[in-house]
């Protein structure tokens, strides 16, 4: 590598080519930034979990909050790096040709090769596309050992690898212990681990006992490249590859694919790039892990909420109003008002004391209905949010005190009663005239018996109508008192019981929906 006068690091590429490396022009635009939709989707799920915990607050078990918060912090830290990259690491021993393979795959002459290689414990990286700096910082790749492969000059020729981060690791069998430390630190962070072996040392026990046999179960995220096959006679290549596969089976890795490659002749390089392109098309390990961790955290949060809200009928106020009316003796008050109107009294009856036990029973029946199925912490919060029995009793007493209990006489009934009295008097006068005429006393005009009877009947009818009108007015007034009282009680129940209940249930619903969103199944 050499530095030009502009300060841009230039790196020899394939024969006859030269590429701009780790210090791009500040105005350059990366032709395929890969930090995108997947990272954004996972970040939205993180925010959903955060939102669920915020809404639920103390109604979630503190141990659950701590556990979920730890998971969210860990995922958020990883998402800050982006999870749209696919990290592929080339690992192998001294002389396996890892660095040459790195250069062949990238099309650049960037990685150290030859005698210089065992002298460094650095990781070399090539990134296809942009946005790789944070990830490489996290992995621990020095600035001078990283390069962006894709440029405007490539067109779409490298598009299939866009998002690939290719790492060239130090030799795992180097005598320098720090080399192995670097390899051990990086391996868990990669999506695809490519073991590069050469025909002479593919059976090296340091590789098989030190690494491969400890990686059983990771077959799908590993492959083995048998490099330098150009040094092996064509006639024995098949036997060599078969022996490599036999050792992998003995290591407990029967599904690890084996690819034959020569960086000298180019044999197998295109096919290896196709394998890497297929890996890029899949979700990265970081994305899969973040997805799984968020799903687990979401399920833990879901365990703190009910699967559904109470049935709508549970929020009906009819029953609680009935119980409050009973506690206040509202029916008796209505009956007393009716009796006063019916009897013509002018003094209104008084509202008796509201029984605390009855109010407590009304409150308990409400809570029993609306907390059914809710987790205990949510139920406890709901009980704390609605009015206490004492507060509810005071509110009921105050509301009923504003219900008019005044007794008003029925004008219609009084009018009918007055007419009945007049007609009755007239009937008596007519009856007297009829008696006088019958006794021989001279009467200018003597009514007949029919006229007298009609007058008496009229007085009786008016009296009956007056009574009926008064009774109807009494019933109407008594019913109005009960209706107005129930309306006042319903208003109390709505403010003191229903409103805080709806607030808690709305928060519960929001927490449940956010947890469902965080699960990633929508």
Given pLDDT bands bounded at 50, 70 and 90, which one contains residue 386? Answer: very high
Flag whether 173 is in a domain: yes
Residue at a domain's end among 243, 264, 283: 283
For 469-494, the pLDDT digits (tens) are 566 656 567 677 788 888 999 999 99
Of the candidate ranges 211-220, 261-270, 473-482, 502-511, the one whose mean pLDDT is the lowest = 473-482
List Cα–Cα distances, 379 to 60, 264, 371, 389, 509, in angstroms: 12, 72, 6, 17, 14
The answer to whether the beta carbons of residues 56 and 305 sit under 8 Å apart is: yes
pTM as predicted: 0.64
Of the candidate ranges 24-38, 363-377, 378-392, the one whose mean pLDDT is the lowest = 24-38
Q: Are residues 96 and 211 in the same domain?
A: yes
pLDDT for 118 equals: 42
Given pLDDT bands bounded at 50, 70 and 90, which one contains residue 317? Answer: very high
pLDDT for 14 equals: 33
Give the domain CATH number at 255.
3.40.50.300
Q: Are residues 271 and 317 in the same domain?
A: no
Residue 8, pLDDT above cutoff 50: no
Higher local confidence (pLDDT), 219 or 165: 165
Number of domains in the chain: 2
Q: Are residues 198 and 331 in the same domain?
A: no
pLDDT for 156 equals: 65
Residue that has been written with the tokens 């809710």 in this structure: 374
Per-residue pLDDT, averaged over 156-172, amounts to 81
Name the burial class of residue 193, with classes exposed (0-12), middle (13-18) and buried (19+) by CB atoms within 10 angstroms of its CB. buried
Flag whether 483 is in a domain: yes
Residue 119, pLDDT above cutoff 50: no
Residue 438, pLDDT above cutoff 70: no
Q: Are residues 274 and 332 in the same domain?
A: no
Residue 167, pLDDT above cutoff 80: yes
Given pLDDT bands bounded at 50, 70 and 90, which one contains residue 162? Answer: confident
Q: Which helix (H) or strand (E) holds 42?
A: helix 37-56
Q: Which helix (H) or strand (E) holds 280?
A: helix 269-281
Range of the domain at 356: 312-519
List Cα–Cα distances, 140 to 14, 16, 134, 145, 402, in angstroms: 27, 31, 10, 10, 76
Percent of the chain with pLDDT over 90: 33
Residue 48, pLDDT above cutoff 70: yes
Flag whether 266 is in a domain: yes
Q: Are residues 279 and 319 in the same domain?
A: no
Flag whether 64 is in a domain: no
pLDDT for 17 equals: 33
Flag whether 341 is in a domain: yes
Q: Are residues 151 and 258 in the same domain?
A: yes
Higher local confidence (pLDDT), 358 or 27: 358
Higher local confidence (pLDDT), 3 or 49: 49
Work out the number of other CB atoms within 10 angstroms of the CB of residue 327.
22
Higher local confidence (pLDDT), 364 or 119: 364
Q: Are residues 497 and 395 in the same domain?
A: yes
Q: Are residues 388 and 247 in the same domain?
A: no
Flag whether 369 is in a domain: yes
For 324-338, the pLDDT digits (tens) are 999 988 888 777 766
pLDDT for 15 equals: 31
Most confident residue range from 23-32, 481-490, 502-511? 502-511
Q: Are residues 200 and 258 in the same domain?
A: yes
Q: Are residues 386 and 270 in the same domain?
A: no
**Considering only CA atoms, which of 35, 21, 271, 33 is closest in space to residue 149?**
21
pLDDT for 479 equals: 73
List Cα–Cα distances, 389 to 228, 260, 296, 332, 403, in angstroms: 86, 82, 41, 22, 21
Flag whether 36 is in a domain: no
pLDDT for 51 equals: 95
pLDDT for 306 equals: 94
The answer to whether the beta carbons of residues 321 and 493 sit under 8 Å apart is: yes
Flag whether 232 is in a domain: yes
Residue that has been written with the tokens 């297929």 in this structure: 278
């Amino acid at each position: 590598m050499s530095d030009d006068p502009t300060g841009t690091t230039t790196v020899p590429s394939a024969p006859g080519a030269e590429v701009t490396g780790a210090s791009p022009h500040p105005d350059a635009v990366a032709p395929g930034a890969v930090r995108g939709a997947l990272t954004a989707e996972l970040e939205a799920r993180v925010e959903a979990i955060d939102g669920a915990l915020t809404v639920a607050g103390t109604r979630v078990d503190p141990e659950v909050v701590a556990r979920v918060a730890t998971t969210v912090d860990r995922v958020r830290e990883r998402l800050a790096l982006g999870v749209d990259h696919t990290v592929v690491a080339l690992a192998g021993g001294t002389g396996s040709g890892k660095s040459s393979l790195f250069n062949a795959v990238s099309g650049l002459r960037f990685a150290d090769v030859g005698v210089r290689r065992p002298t460094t414990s650095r990781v070399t990286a090539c990134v296809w596309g942009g946005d790789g700096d944070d990830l490489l910082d996290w992995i621990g790749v020095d600035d001078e050992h990283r390069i962006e492969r894709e440029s405007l000059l490539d067109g779409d020729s490298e598009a299939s690898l866009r998002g690939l981060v290719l790492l060239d690791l130090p030799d795992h069998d180097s005598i320098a212990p720090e080399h192995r430390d670097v390899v051990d630190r990086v391996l868990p962070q990669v999506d695809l681990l490519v073991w590069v072996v050469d025909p002479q040392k593919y059976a090296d026990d340091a590789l098989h006992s030190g690494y491969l046999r400890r990686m059983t179960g990771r077959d799908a995220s590993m492959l083995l490249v048998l490099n330098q096959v150009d040094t092996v006679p064509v006639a024995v290549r098949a036997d060599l590859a078969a022996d490599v596969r036999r050792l992998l089976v003995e290591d407990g890795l029967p599904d690890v694919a084996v690819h034959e490659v020569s960086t000298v002749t180019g044999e197998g390089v295109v096919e290896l790039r196709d394998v890497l392109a297929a890996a890029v098309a899949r979700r990265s390990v970081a994305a899969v892990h973040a997805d799984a961790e968020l799903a687990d955290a979401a399920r833990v949060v879901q365990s703190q909420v009910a699967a559904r809200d109470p049935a709508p009928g549970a929020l009906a106020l009819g029953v609680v109003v009935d119980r409050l009316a009973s506690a206040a003796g509202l029916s008796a008050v209505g009956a007393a008002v009716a009796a006063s109107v019916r009897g013509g009294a002018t003094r209104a009856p008084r509202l008796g004391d509201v029984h605390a036990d009855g109010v407590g029973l009304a409150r308990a029946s409400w809570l029993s209905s609306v907390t059914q199925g809710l987790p205990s912490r949510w139920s406890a919060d709901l009980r704390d949010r609605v009015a206490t029995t004492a507060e509810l009793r005071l509110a009921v007493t105050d509301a009923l005190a504003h219900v008019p209990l005044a007794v008003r006489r029925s004008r219609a009934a009084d009018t009918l009663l007055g007419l009945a009295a007049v007609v009755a008097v007239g009937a008596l006068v007519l009856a007297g005239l009829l008696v006088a005429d019958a006794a021989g006393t001279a009467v200018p005009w003597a009514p007949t018996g029919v006229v007298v009877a009609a007058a008496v009947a009229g007085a009786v009818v008016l009296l009956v109508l007056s009574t009926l009108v008064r009774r109807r007015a009494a019933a109407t007034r008594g019913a109005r008192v009960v209706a107005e009282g129930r309306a006042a009680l319903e208003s109390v129940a709505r403010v003191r019981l229903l409103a805080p209940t709806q607030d808690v249930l709305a928060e519960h619903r929001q927490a449940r929906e956010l947890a469902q969103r965080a699960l990633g199944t929508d």
